Amino acid sequence: MAIGLALVVTAIVVLAVPKVRMKVLPEVRDALRGLWAVAKIRRKRVEVFGGSLAAELLYAIALGATCLAYGIHLNIAQLVFVNTSASVLSSIVPVPGGIGAAEAALSAGLIAMGVDEPTALAIAVTQRLCTFYLPPIWGYASLRWLARKGYV
C-alpha cells in the first residue's frame, strides 16, 4: 500500500512540476529505449536471462560445495531455493552488500532445510567469505598486475 502510494505521489510530482519533468522524462525515455533494444533482439534476451540463470545456478552449486564441506547433503532444488530466497531477503534490508542480512537469510534457509543452527551459520559465513568477502582481494591483485603489464 505504502509503495503504491509513493509511486502515485512520485508520478504526480513528475508530471506536475515542469523542472522535474524536464529532468526525469528524458532519462526515462532513454532507459525504456535501451530496454526495448534488448527486449527485441533474441540473442540479447538470452544473454540477459541466461546469464542471470547461470549465475544463480553457480551460486547454488557453490553453496552445495560449502554444505558438502560441512557434511551436509542438499539437492539442487533446495540449494537454489535457499540461495535465491536468501538473495531476495538480503536485498530488501537496506545494508550495503547485504552484510549480516545475507548470512542471516542463508542460515535461516539452511535451518528450514533441516540443518542444525551452528552448522547452518558456519556454512553461511563460509559461503559469504568465499563468494563476497575474499574475491575483491584477488580482483585487486589481478587489476594491479594487469595495470603493471599495461593491459588496463
In this predicted model, which residue has the larger pLDDT, 149 or 14? 149
- Consecutive H or E run containing 13: helix 2-16
Query: What was the pLDDT predicted at 25?
Result: 87
For the segment 104-135, what is each residue's pLDDT rounded down to a tens digit?
A: 999 999 999 999 999 999 999 999 999 999 99
Scan for cell 574475491, then name that residue: 135
Of the listed ranges 11-25, 71-85, 123-137, the one predicted with least confidence: 11-25
* Chain centre distance of CA 20: 31
Phi-psi region of 98 (alpha: psi -120 to 50; beta: other; left: phi over 0): left
Q: How far apart are CA 47 and CA 108, in angstroms?
A: 32
The confidence band for 58, taking pLDDT boundaries of 50, 70 and 90, is very high
Single-letter code of the amino acid located at 131: T
Which residues are within 8 A (CB) of 152 and not within 5 positions of it... i.e. 6 or more apart? Answer: 143, 146
State the DSSP string of 34-79. Answer: HHHHHHT-HHHHHHHHHHHHHHHHHHHHHHHHHHHHTT----HHHH
Q: How far is CA 7 from CA 19, 63, 119, in A?
A: 19, 37, 42
For the segment 83-103, what is each residue's pLDDT rounded down to a tens digit?
A: 999 999 998 888 888 889 999
Q: What is the pTM of this model?
A: 0.74
